[in-house]
Amino acid sequence: MKTVFLVLLGLMLVSAPALADRDSDRARRAVQAGDIRPLAEALAKVEATHPGRVLDVELEDEHAKMIYEVKLLTAEGQVLKIILDAKSLEILKVKGGKDRPDRKER
């Protein structure tokens, strides 16, 4: 059992860079085709409306629409997830922060 786990773990570690390359190639082709806006423009839009430190960015295909999901840390220490339409850069949703109903004061 331990051997099977180690083999599977090794396969995941080896295949992860290949998947990342495939994702970046897909994003590059979409920008060149005009299907989405460049990541730099998306980050500039987020920074203009929600200043903070970017923690993570994902490009996803959701309901036949490409979106950027930007996770950032605000100066107040809040973690926000900002979802943008990857073509128009319209901010579709902001999740997290002080207004989260599931968040309890400490």
Label residue 2 by pLDDT band (50, 70, 90): low
Which residues lie closer than 8 Å to 57 by C-beta, 6 or more apart?
39, 42, 43, 68, 69, 70, 71
Tens of pLDDT, residues 56-98: 999 998 888 999 999 999 999 999 999 999 999 999 999 997 6
Question: Would you place residue 105 in the very low, low, confident or very high pLDDT band (cuts 50, 70, 90)?
Answer: very low
User: Which one, of 25, 21, 36, 28, lies nearest residue 89 by Cα?
Assistant: 36
Which pLDDT tens digit goes with each residue over 9-44? Answer: 555 555 445 444 566 788 889 889 999 999 999 999
DSSP-assigned states of every residue in 55-73: EEEEEEEETTEEEEEEEEE
Residues 6 or more apart whose CB falls under 8 angstroms from that of 87 comprise: 35, 36, 37, 65, 66
SS3 90: coil
CA distances from 80 to 8, 50, 94 (A): 34, 9, 7
Burial of 98 (0-12, 13-18, 19+ CB in 10 A): exposed
pLDDT at residue 104 is higher than 80: no
**Residue 81: count of CB within 10 angstroms of its CB:** 16
Taking the domain 36-106, which CATH number applies? 3.10.450.40
